[in-house]
Chain A
Amino acid sequence: MLALIGTVPYQNLPVISGEVLIKDGNLIIGKETFPLRRGFPSMAGAAAIVCAELGLSPPTAFTVGDTGLGDGSRRLYEYLKNRFTDLPAKVITFHYLMPDINWHNQVFWAIENKSERPILIADAGFMYVAKMSGHASSYDLFTPDIGELAFLADDMAPHPFYTRGFICHEESNVPTLISMAYQNENASRVMIVKGEKDYICRHGKIMAVIEEPFIEPLEAIGGTGDTLTGIVSALVYGGYTIEESAIMAAKINRIAGELASPTPNTQVSEIIIHIPRALSKVMKKNILTISR
């Protein structure tokens, strides 16, 4: 099972779970339908598309409504804590959740009690709390952008909003920030640092830099980081190594963006529809180099 965990921005939606499918341009989770907007729907949608293209079983999503008050996140944390032990998940991807160290740790220890260790991927709010909890290095993959990387690099920052000013957020400073994040044990084993160039690093060493195609407007388009996380989650679930998945996902995300001919006005749903073609292009090029 590829388990995808995160909140959606609706009030009063209880915790729901179910297979993730794309139908008529919408995201379907169990019996609920969501528009493919930025955030968890984009992440889950991208993962579902890649799973379908690779002939894998669909991901299973666990979600709840939360508009930022944290009430939904806490209900989801509690639900997960009580179910993780029996969940047959090979890969678990955590996404938009209210950062809360106590709840993070309860979920984290519940995962630790599983008989088989799943691959753990974290992005967005759950990546923030994974760092704050001191357990970042137990995660397999984080997908920060540069602002978030600066937060990981700053040992003291409790949230990206409090990243100290001397920690430079510039693209040219990414290798230094990567080193700082790993030195302070605030990084996952592998990271994809999203930006003008995507840096794939493992244990502090930069393994690859993906910079083509360079589609400048993508940075402005909300949800393009979410799609990257969804794509890489599905590839890891498909059996590719985390590093290879990260490299392929960065390429797929860029090519899907290119195929959409975007402007800063483009919405992520217009990019998601190009993921199958982008996946196909990258798979053709990479098929002989990927170890499964």
Chain B
Amino acid sequence: MFPFGFSKKKTSKTEDGKTSDRGILVFENTSEVIRAEDTLKAKGWKIRVMGPPPEIRKGCDLVIEFPLVEQLNILRVLEEKKIPPIEIVPVNNPLMKPVDLLRTKNYGDYIMVRAANMKMTVEKNTLKIVNISGGGCPDVPYVSDKLVGKTLMDVPSPKEIGHTLCAYALHMAYEELKKKCSL
């Protein structure tokens, strides 16, 4: 029995109940998997090496399971070590792809782009980032503090200073704004 009306009818969308916040890193060969495993474990991430799910048709016969939301940070570490994965997918549905639909809204002197749950707004004349809204991961306020009030040309990309999927979505909005502003 669960008091207060809480029910335990499901704990996750996956069979073991605890892995739907996980992603899979796919590598070209086993040697890269081993190096990536050592690198990520040394940095303190909870990861595990496992066989790939049947939907994954690329890479070698081992993959690394990792906390999906921290994708941006993990990818940066692996790129620094020159062992970038060839594919990153969510565990519970390896066929899922990141959101690729971007929406633009014009506000007269300002333009806003939304990517997934993140929005970035820029003043057209000055290219100043005037606001960043949406998102829920802890780096969103951090990245906002670093970017808002500066121009698109003068800021690091959200991908460089963010760590999570929210920062990744914001990066997509940032890139789209740069494209629209012909930068």
Residues of A within 8 A of B (CB): 7-9, 37-40, 66-70, 72-73, 96-102, 105, 112, 114, 117, 123-129, 132-135, 137-138, 145, 147-148, 151, 155-165, 169, 185, 216-217, 219-225, 263-267
B13 part of interface (Cβ distance < 8 Å):
yes
How many A-B pairs have beta carbons closer than 8 Å: the answer is 218
In chain A, what residue has the closest Cβ to B110?
A264
A-facing residues in B68-95 (Cβ within 8 Å): 68-70, 73, 90-93
A9-B138, A135-B11, A161-B98 as given contacts; A148 in contact with B110, CB under 8 Å = no
- Name the contact of A67 in the complex, choosing from B2, B7, B22, B138 (C-beta under 8 A): B138
Q: Is the CB of A165 within 8 A of B11?
A: no
Q: Is A125 touching B137 in the complex (CB atoms < 8 A)?
A: yes
Contact A138 B114 (CB under 8 A): no
Q: Are B116 and A100 in contact (CB under 8 A)?
A: no
B160 within 8 A of A: no
Known: A117-B4, A156-B13. 13 other contacts (CB 8 A): A38-B144, A39-B144, A99-B137, A102-B18, A127-B136, A147-B134, A157-B96, A158-B23, A160-B169, A161-B116, A220-B112, A263-B109, A265-B130
Q: Which residues of B contact A112 (CB under 8 A)?
A: 2-4, 6
B132 within 8 A of A: yes
Cβ-defined contact, B3 with A117, below 8 A: yes
Q: Given A69-B73, A138-B6, A156-B13 in contact, is the A96-B137 Cβ separation under 8 Å?
A: yes
Residues of A within 8 A of B21 (CB): 99-101, 129, 132, 158
> Which of B55-63, B117-125, B175-183 touches A?
B117-125
A68, A102, A221, A223 pick with most chain B CB within 10 angstroms: A68
The smallest beta-carbon distance between B104 and chain A, in angstroms, is: 12
Cα separation A66 to B110 with both chains bound (whole Å): 31
What residues of B have a CB within 8 angstroms of the CB of A162 in the complex? 90, 96-99, 165
With a cutoff of 8 Å between Cβ atoms, the chain A residues found around residue B54 in the complex are: none
Given A161-B165, A219-B112, check contact A72 B11 (CB 8 Å). Answer: no
